[in-house]
Copies of this chain bind each other. A is one copy, B any other.
Amino acid sequence: MNICGPLERARLVQLLALGGARHWKKGELLFRVGDPMGPFFKITAGVVAVSTLLDDGRRQVVALRAAGDCIGYLEENGQYAFEGRALTGVDACAFDRRLFDKFAARNPDLAAATTATLASALRQAGQAMLVLGQLKSVERVAHFLVEIDALYRNRGACGESLSLLMSRAEIGDYLGLTIETVSRALGKLKTTDVIAIGQRDQVTILDKAKLRSIGKV
What's the least CB distance linking A38 to chain B, in Å?
16
Kindly identify, within residues 90 to 132 of chain A, every residue whose CB is under 8 Å from any CB belonging to chain B: 101, 104-106, 108, 111-112, 114-115, 118-119, 121-123, 125-130, 132
Chain B residues with CB under 8 A of A115: 104, 111, 114-115, 118
- A192 at the B interface (CB under 8 A): no
Partner of A73 from the list B75, B76, B119 (CB cut-off 8 Å) is B119
Q: Say yes or no: A105-B104 contact (C-beta < 8 A), given A52-B127, A129-B60.
A: no
Category for how many chain A residues contact B: 35 or more
- How many monomers of this protein are in the complex? 2
Is the beta-carbon distance between A62 and B121 smaller than 8 angstroms? no
Contact string, A182-201, partner B, CB cutoff 8 A, digits 1/0? 00000000000000000000
Is the beta-carbon distance between B122 and A176 smaller than 8 angstroms? no
Is the beta-carbon distance between A126 and B216 smaller than 8 angstroms? no
Is the beta-carbon distance between B54 and A130 smaller than 8 angstroms? yes
| Separation of A130 and B105 alpha carbons in the complex (Å) | 33
Is the beta-carbon distance between A60 and B108 smaller than 8 angstroms? no
| Separation of A114 and B114 alpha carbons in the complex (Å) | 10
Is the beta-carbon distance between B216 and A130 smaller than 8 angstroms? no
Q: Say yes or no: A52-B132 contact (C-beta < 8 A), given A101-B112, A112-B111, A119-B73.
A: no
Partner of A108 from the list B108, B128, B134 (CB cut-off 8 Å) is B108
What's the least CB distance linking A173 to chain B, in Å?
8
Q: Say yes or no: A74-B122 contact (C-beta < 8 A), given A54-B216, A60-B133, A130-B60.
A: yes
| Separation of A62 and B133 alpha carbons in the complex (Å) | 10
Is the beta-carbon distance between B119 and A74 smaller than 8 angstroms? yes
Is the beta-carbon distance between A175 and B112 smaller than 8 angstroms? no
| Separation of A116 and B112 alpha carbons in the complex (Å) | 13
Partner of A125 from the list B126, B176, B216 (CB cut-off 8 Å) is B126
- A48 at the B interface (CB under 8 A): no
- A145 at the B interface (CB under 8 A): no
Contact string, A37-75, partner B, CB cutoff 8 A, digits 1/0? 000000000000010101100111011000000000111
| 7 A-B pairs (CB sep. < 8 Å) | A52-B130, A62-B126, A73-B119, A74-B123, A75-B123, A104-B111, A115-B118
